[in-house]
């Protein structure tokens, strides 16, 4: 569906009044998305999961410390190897929280600590609502022009406030939303597709992707694959150094190596200008596809050898 939306945005980009209407619809969808994130996350489970501090701490360190360091290393690549816009997108990718659904599913397939994965991925997304915008301001200020008053207002009213309101109401709504997972899945996917289409449309209309050649795309795929391989290696090795049980090592491997498309694209639409949001969207989409394909194979292999 994401590939189909990308092709649609390239061939028939939204423009004029239609683009303006879609922008307002996208804003409403992002607000709803982060409200539902807050409303369906059980606060008591998150707090209870913090007791396994070695697992949860290592997940947060992998997501918001080790991965950003690798993202900064990518910035050292010459512009002739990887376009600056794609380097910026990879740095943004490195600052995102972990996925939730795929991390938990792959942990389960690999016979890992599912409860630890649920808690770790949930905490990652809760922390990411605040940490990702702060890291963007700290590490990407020079390349993005910093976060101006408009961006800060968007973060407050489109991300933080809906999430906080959702958490405040999750006592009454959380059980119902978790019991009706189809509703939240449709909301998640519809928002991702809407943001992907509008981002590609804006890139096509503005010419933001004119520099992306076939060679540049191949290089991007290779760099994303190297980043994923590095994180898979470091999380598995780090889990062993911390003397985590095998099930916990698997949870760390699956949660600490992933980045969330569901959070990344909507946040980019809030944090950046339309042209820059379109540029950073491509690495996020490419990495997402690679991590799903790779971890699906890895999870089955871990299940066989375990």
pLDDT per residue of the chain (306 residues) written in tens, 0 to 9? 877 887 898 899 998 899 999 989 988 988 898 788 788 877 776 565 567 788 989 999 999 999 999 999 999 999 999 988 899 999 999 999 998 778 888 898 899 988 788 788 878 887 888 899 999 989 987 555 445 555 556 666 777 788 789 989 999 999 999 898 888 878 877 887 887 788 778 778 877 667 778 899 999 999 999 999 999 999 999 999 999 999 999 999 999 999 988 788 888 888 888 778 878 888 998 998 899 889 988 998 999 986
Domains defined along the chain, listed by start: 2-305 (1.20.1530.20)
Instruction: Answer yes or no: are the C-beta atoms of 13 and 200 closer than 8 Å.
Output: yes
How far apart CA 121 and CA 46 sit, in angstroms, is 10
Q: How many CB atoms lie within 10 A of CB 210?
A: 9
d(CA 87, CA 285): 14
Distance CA 149, CA 169 (A): 28
Given a contact cutoff of 8 angstroms between Cβ atoms, the answer to whether 7 and 201 are in contact is no
Burial class of 295 by CB neighbour count within 10 A (0 to 12, 13 to 18, 19+): buried
């Amino acid at each position: 569906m994401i590939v189909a939306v990308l092709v649609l945005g390239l061939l028939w980009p939204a423009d004029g009044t239609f683009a303006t209407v879609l922008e307002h619809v996208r804003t409403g969808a992002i607000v709803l998305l982060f409200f539902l994130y807050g409303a369906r996350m059980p606060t008591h489970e998150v707090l209870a999961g913090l007791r396994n501090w070695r697992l949860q701490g290592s997940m947060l360190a992998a997501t918001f410390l080790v991965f950003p360091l690798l993202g900064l290393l990518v910035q050292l690549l010459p512009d002739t190897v990887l376009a600056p816009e794609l380097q910026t997108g990879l740095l943004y990718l490195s600052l995102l929280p972990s996925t939730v659904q795929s991390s938990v599913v792959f942990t389960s397939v690999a016979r890992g600590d599912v409860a630890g994965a649920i808690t770790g991925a949930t905490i990652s997304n809760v922390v990411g609502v605040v940490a990702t915008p702060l890291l963007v301001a700290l590490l990407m200020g020079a390349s993005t022009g910093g976060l101006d008053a408009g961006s800060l207002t968007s973060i407050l009213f489109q991300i933080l406030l809906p999430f906080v309101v959702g958490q405040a109401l999750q006592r009454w709504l959380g059980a119902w939303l978790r019991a009706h997972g189809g509703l939240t899945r449709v909301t998640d996917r519809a928002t991702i597709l809407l943001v992907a289409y509008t981002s590609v449309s804006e890139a096509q209309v503005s010419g933001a992707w004119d520099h992306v050649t076939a060679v540049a795309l191949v290089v991007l795929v290779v760099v994303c694959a190297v980043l994923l391989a590095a994180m898979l290696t470091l999380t598995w090795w780090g889990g062993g150094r911390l003397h985590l049980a095998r099930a916990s090592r698997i949870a760390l491997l699956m949660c600490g190596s992933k980045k969330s498309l569901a959070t990344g694209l909507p946040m980019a639409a809030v944090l950046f200008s339309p042209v820059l949001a379109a540029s950073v969207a491509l690495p996020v989409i490419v990495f997402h596809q690679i991590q799903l394909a790779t971890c699906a194979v890895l999870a089955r292999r871990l299940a066989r050898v375990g």
